[in-house]
Structure 1
Amino acid sequence: MPDALKTERLTVNGQTFSALTAGDPEKPLILCLHGFPEYSGAFEDILPFLAGEYFCVAPDQRGYGESWKPAEVAAYAMSELMADAAAMIAHFGRGKPAAAVIGHDWGAAVAYALAFRHADKFERLVIANGVHPVPFQNALAAGGAQSAASQYIEWLRADGSESALVAEDHARMFRIFSENMDMSWMTPEKRQGYRDAWGDVDGVRGMVNWYRASALKVAKPGVPLTPDALPRLNPKHLRVSMPHLLLWGLEDTALLPEARQGIERFCDNIEIHEIEGADHWLLHQQPERVARLVLDFLARP
């Protein structure tokens, strides 16, 4: 772990969390939210490039790493996950709005929820290979390429998936990580860090409970879902009013371009940067380039 990074324990909403931090706590805050199957280490490559100008906090989100892991599926409702993130902004922000929230994968879902409900708590939204709920649900329901790529969601939701994921020293989890992706960044040290963060069946259960708690519906390939089978998503309540940067690794095979089709309709001010030579794990593959795009975005008036 680079010297610039520190691990902190904190209590928010009455529960204990762990967070990776970097930078001067007196500087503007950036909250960084990881996805599945990562943990705060998802940001360890990029934080040193951001920490010169910002105080960066990357928590292990609920159910992950060294943070609180409730067993109940209901504890992973988006309202609960969003409340954790909002409380972390209050905890680390010294009474001021954060400069930005960065979300990747499932962390993007939490970041979007914050932008919809708590736009007063931060100034700018950055998403790295993550999706707005409306275009994503549309793509999942269509029965096309995104539906096919997302069939793993139903597998993860099934009873016993956590046991399968930890079997044979987390072999299935690493397969999820690496399928059709560039894993040259996964050093032996990082591999052990992920294995330690995942832990045993009880540790992984919280991770897959994010999927079980989600209302998203996934069509079978070639069998589109009818509108009445989908969750009700009111576009008026799902709008991003703040400046929004979407970074997209073009070689992502888990989230396809159709998963963001039409996102401009839900954003007042969005910039989209497509990154060649990167896939879903762009934060590890091109951390310096991603950091520069984020810094340039945050520096604009």
Structure 2
Amino acid sequence: MKLEILHSTAAALLAGSLLLPITMPGQARAAESPFAVHMTAMEIDGMNIAYREAGDPNNPTVLLLHGFPTSSHMFRELIPELAERYHVIAPDYPGFGASDMPDADSYEYSFANTAEIMIELLDRKNVGDYAVYLMDYGAPIGYRMFAQNPDRVSAFVIQNGNAYDEGLREFWDPIKAYWTDKSPENGDALRGFLTLDATKWQFTHGVGDVSSVNPDNYWHVQYLLDRPGNQEVQLEMFYDYGSNVGEYPKWQALFREHQPPALIVWGQNDMIFPAEGAHPYKQDLQDVEFHLLDTGHFALEEYGDVIASEMLEFLDRTTR
């Protein structure tokens, strides 16, 4: 009898017909945690946009915006920490994570379009005000959202996310060359950023204890980068990043005008977005909690507990 159950279960799984967790005879399903993280998707502009969600929607919302080349996966351990007191949404951008990846020839990959999709997602979730965690690509996406409706943003948590020219150092020179001349040659020169060695470097460079970085991170990310057509998606995003630089003065003026409270938790050893990009925020924002952490680009991997603790204290003060 047990063997027949196993065979029927395996067949159903292979057929894709089982959509719910399997409960074997005599095995009771555990009660779901009230802070469980759900992975779901919403169709926006003809694409399935995946997102992680946790916490009570009646609580204040925290939006988590990921960087390159990862996805909402980078927040997998932070989300449950926040969900006890907050409603948390962490989307995957088009071409990233579990979201759809249209062909780069048929869809305009840009930071402006991604920001619009994030706004649509929040609107359909009936989210009003929200605090936002900005990291890497998440910064220009979040600041574009902020520029559309500054009063909607209750607070910023800024982690290695740039809005100042001081934050674009030598690392960006080959990308700046692509902004100036979008030639195949300049594009091909950037493909090295999309290799496993480069991905592993992003997660491990500047980290004090490399053993704190789970290699599943860069294996998972590299699988996504290696999908057919994804390099062309990433080249489009590399090119469009140049459009953000011209928006910096506008965002800085909005910081000065609206003065959202900000928590800065920045990996100071990051070569992509170095600490020179963190300090200028203090010139434009008055309510700033400022922390440079002795780690690299993906600071959550080594300082996740510290960031979660600082965030909860900061959000409790600014959003509740």
TM range (shorter): 0.7 to 0.9
Task: Give the drift of 1:12.
Answer: 2.5
CA change 1:173–1:50 in 2 (3 A) is: same
> What is the CA–CA distance in structure 1 between the aligned matches of 2:96 and 2:105, rounded to whole Å?
14
Same amino acid, percent of matched pairs: 21
Which amino acid is 1:266 matched to? D
Give the paired residue count: 274
1:274 and 2:296 aligned: no
Q: Which consecutive unaligned segments of at least 5 residues does structure 2 have?
A: 1-32, 180-185
- Aligned to 2:242, the other structure's residue is in SS state coil
Q: Say if 1:208 and 1:54 are closer, same or farther in 2 by CA, change over 3 A.
A: farther
Partner amino acid, structure 2, of 1:173: T
Selected match of 2:44 from 12, 24, 36: 12
1:254-265 to structure 2, matched below 5 A, reads 254-265=272-283
CA distance in 2, matches of 1:234, 1:275: 24
Note if 1:84 corresponds to 2:84: no
- AA matched with 2:295: A
- Give 1:189-268 correspondences, 5 Å limit: 189-215=216-242, 231=246, 234-235=249-250, 238-240=253-255, 241=258, 242-267=260-285
Q: Do the aligned partners of 1:245 and 1:272 also contact (CA within 8 Å) in 2?
A: yes
- The structural deviation recorded for 1:66 is 1.9
The answer to whether the Cα contact below 8 Å between 2:61 and 2:127 also exists between their aligned partners in 1 is no
1:159 pairs with one of 171, 187, 202: 187
* Contact 2:205–2:270 (Cα < 8 Å) also in 1: no
- Normalised by the size of structure 1, how large is the TM-score? 0.78
Which of 59, 67, 78 is the aligned partner of 1:46? 78
Distance across 2 between alignment mates of 1:276 and 1:121: 29
State the one-letter code of the partner of 1:174.
K
TM-score w.r.t. the length of structure 2 is: 0.74
Shift of 1:39: 1.0
- After TM superposition, give the deviation of residue 165 of structure 1 in Å: 5.6
Matched to 2:114, the amino acid is L
| Paired position in structure 1 for 2:64 | 32
Pairs within 5 Å for 1:54-73: 54-70=86-102, 71-72=104-105
Task: Report the aligned-residue RMSD.
Answer: 3.1
> C-alpha deviations, 1:31-74, integer Å up to 9, x for none?
10001111111111211111101121111112212213341498
Give runs of aligned pairs for residues 166-177 of structure 1, distance below 5 A: 170-177=196-203
Distance 1:116 1:232 in 2: 10
| SS class of match (1:239) | helix
- The one-letter code sitting in structure 1 at the alignment partner of 2:290 is H
In structure 2, distance between residues paired with 1:236 and 1:209? 23
- Higher Cα radius of gyration: 2
Larger RCO, structure (CA 8 Å, separation 6 or more): 1
Following the alignment from structure 2 to structure 1, what is the Cα–Cα distance between the partners of residues 38 and 247? 41
Q: Secondary structure at the match of 1:151?
A: helix
- On the 8 A contact 2:167/2:275 being kept in 1, the answer is no
